Structure 1
């Protein structure tokens, strides 16, 4: 199972603490300071998690594609496999996702098991730290169950390392029940965002837990609970940032719209920087996008023609979210689109300061509109969707049928949350498996007929862009099946 206690250390604000997972557990978890370090280690793991989420949640969808490197086909069975739905159980990215998630969960479970036994810590602090860890555990399991379906559910430390290889997959219902339990506990234990100050800004808050819980209920199609939970967020002081571009400005982190974002820090050698623009900028663009002429961007997560065409005329979000090309050093415009949302000036090559948004208030408004519509039709749902549209410089909508409003919500979510790792999950929630087969295969055929990015002479192969439906769940890594004979594989792999 790979439940090794590993995590990277963090060195900024509440992350500026040594990594307890590298210490002997018997000598640790005894003081409030050590619990604080353990919680910081859990936050640290989120960087490792979101660094690669675009592969699983954007590239598998119709939102993004890849700029092939004709001279290096080493990614054919790795990153490219997600783009073309050619996944196998031997895919290293799947193995890394699985291992990283369970390594982080091991550390979360261990820390949670020790909090009550720490002497001298106030009940309020114990509750806060429990809430933060419950939120993080719920976030991991929410991603795991949506990626893999039934997964191994462990909420207590394992007695021995051999127990990791005697586990079985729990039903989706059981996993979701634990997620709901964790987020309900977290929302009760955590302070409001406004109660954090100084170095504590950026921690999970009551709004973080309620926002994620609302999304869980929406995924489960429990619309009354989704609506009730999301309405609680409305009273916690969040608001839309007036200008869409400023939501992602590195000088405006953890702003009024942010329910939760993964923290990064660039401009130094502390190891906490992000580098998303170096991954997303087109190959051979050198410094035209990144600002550093010696950079070698990777050309992954390229916006598709399909997504670019989704933006309405006058939508102010388009130029923030993406650019349709760049001007190279010779002054020639190169029409290869790229994600622009995480493209901000930085002082050291490869070390950007962009945080990653996990939950935003605009997402809450759109989820609330969806939950209302699914119960009784649009009704007062227009209030919430139109707030998001008006901020984007678009006109209000009205007078739609329930089905037409569903289409409007799907459109609005796609452009508002583009490249924030929501599209794959939104597709799975909004469409039946048969509908996903139809939609994604139509997208695939369009890409094969007219690729977003020239393939440099590399031909398509027979299985490229062939979505059979079973790929809506990812395969359990083959090594896990080898190590734990109790595990089963998802159908189709």
Structure 2
């Protein structure tokens, strides 16, 4: 398999190539088969796994940009062709942004595979079984999230579950079906939940983090009772997770790891979050090549719809008068967290699951908890269809800059109605052309 070469690289896998859009940060990847020998090196490897998850090509910006630019609310203001294709929903198989995200996700998986394989076998007397379970569980969680993102982005994929030490180690593997890929996600989440401690940590996976991702998983799989169950486990943990008022309390004034956050990736001056560079205007130290479009600006600025979520956007002074996103604003440090799971999502997952199950009063209660936090009046929706549409609209604004909009429209079958895109082949991203050329066992997505 072509991606096996990535784990054998040094500090920078792409350092010798020209820097593509968003590929501005060196990979912090080592050969884990050599590095993991004791407790200290195991902890270092798992820290590196989170760095891979937060890399520029993954949650550091590029993977989320696939959803930002596809979802209809974010415009591309730059001149490069790859992101323009995404914004116009005319992606080709040689799109560099798609390729870099695909590669980054598989790099994360391959690193997790090493950790899962090596740590349980170590004989370091300082390495307790409890600690081994924790670190292995974290790797299972990250692998689950990675395969979940591949499934919702590309459909069924090749399932690589063991270490890749040589380029030919996984030759001949065909793509699994979408159902099989999702089943792997659930299997990894189950193993993670068994191994991880029942604690609260907003920057690393715990059993609660696994439960939260399970709630999202079951929502995508339309298993409403299970989505309700796992969302409730997090919502009911009021000592550790709660909606904060006003809306911007979870990110403004340099806030990090608040009670709003279930899982966020932390960054530092030496490991920067690239989002600020693409959201902020030049006057504030960025490039503003992603920007909220006029429709989203109008919704966020409507007191009856956006409420206090207008804190997500700002406008430059005349004569520019440019609207921009303010969720990622910490320049020049780039230390904004990447928000992967917030308690607000669990409320809206449970609202949708309960509406689907006909529990309309309960669904409205969860929906209105989000609306109350936003400073807007309770919803007056009174039918199942109206409540589901209200939840969709609430998710649109609540997570406007968190990369959910496109995937929400795909999973609910609403792409054609909302965006006018009727070609269902375009509801998934293309398998990168260079991967197809390098691996004859990898089949393309239809229509690309």
Match of 1:371 among 353, 356, 361: 353
TM-score (norm 1): 0.81
Residue 298 (1) aligns with residue 301 (2): no
The within-5 A match list for 1:85-96 is 85-96=89-100
Q: Is residue 202–residue 263 contact of structure 1 (8 Å, CA) maintained in 2?
A: yes
Show the counterpart of 1:451: none
How far residue 29 of structure 1 moved from its aligned partner, in angstroms, is 2.0
1:250 & 1:313 partners in 2: Cα distance?
23
Q: Is residue 244–residue 316 contact of structure 1 (8 Å, CA) maintained in 2?
A: no
2:32 & 2:89 partners in 1: Cα distance?
43
Residue 310 (1) aligns with residue 299 (2): yes
2:224 & 2:253 partners in 1: Cα distance?
35
Change (3 A) 1:20 1:416: closer
SS in 2 for 1:30: coil
The count of aligned residue pairs is: 422
Q: Is residue 202–residue 261 contact of structure 1 (8 Å, CA) maintained in 2?
A: yes
Match of 2:262 among 255, 259, 264: 259
1:159 & 1:313 partners in 2: Cα distance?
56
Q: Is residue 7–residue 104 contact of structure 1 (8 Å, CA) maintained in 2?
A: no
1:63 & 1:7 partners in 2: Cα distance?
38
SS in 1 for 2:3: coil
Q: How big is the alpha-carbon RMSD for the aligned residues of Structure 1 and Structure 2? A: 2.1
2:296 & 2:412 partners in 1: Cα distance?
17
Q: Which moved more, 1:300-309 or 1:353-362?
A: 300-309
2:119 & 2:157 partners in 1: Cα distance?
26
Q: Which moved more, 1:483-492 or 1:375-384?
A: 375-384
Match of 2:175 among 169, 173, 179: 169
Match of 1:67 among 69, 72, 77: 77
Q: Is residue 11–residue 30 contact of structure 2 (8 Å, CA) maintained in 1?
A: no
Show the counterpart of 1:25: 33
Show the counterpart of 1:410: 392
Residue 207 (1) aligns with residue 208 (2): yes
The within-5 A match list for 1:38-57 is 38-48=45-55, 49-50=58-59, 51-57=61-67
Show the counterpart of 1:360: 342
1:405 & 1:7 partners in 2: Cα distance?
51
SS in 2 for 1:480: helix
User: Per-residue CA shift, 1:188-215, capped at 9, x if unaligned?
Assistant: 3222443x5xxxx621122211111110
How far residue 8 of structure 1 moved from its aligned partner, in angstroms, is 6.2
1:25 & 1:362 partners in 2: Cα distance?
39
Change (3 A) 1:217 1:7: farther
2:345 & 2:39 partners in 1: Cα distance?
35
Q: Which moved more, 1:305-314 or 1:358-367?
A: 305-314
Show the counterpart of 2:419: 440
Match of 2:86 among 82, 89, 108: 82
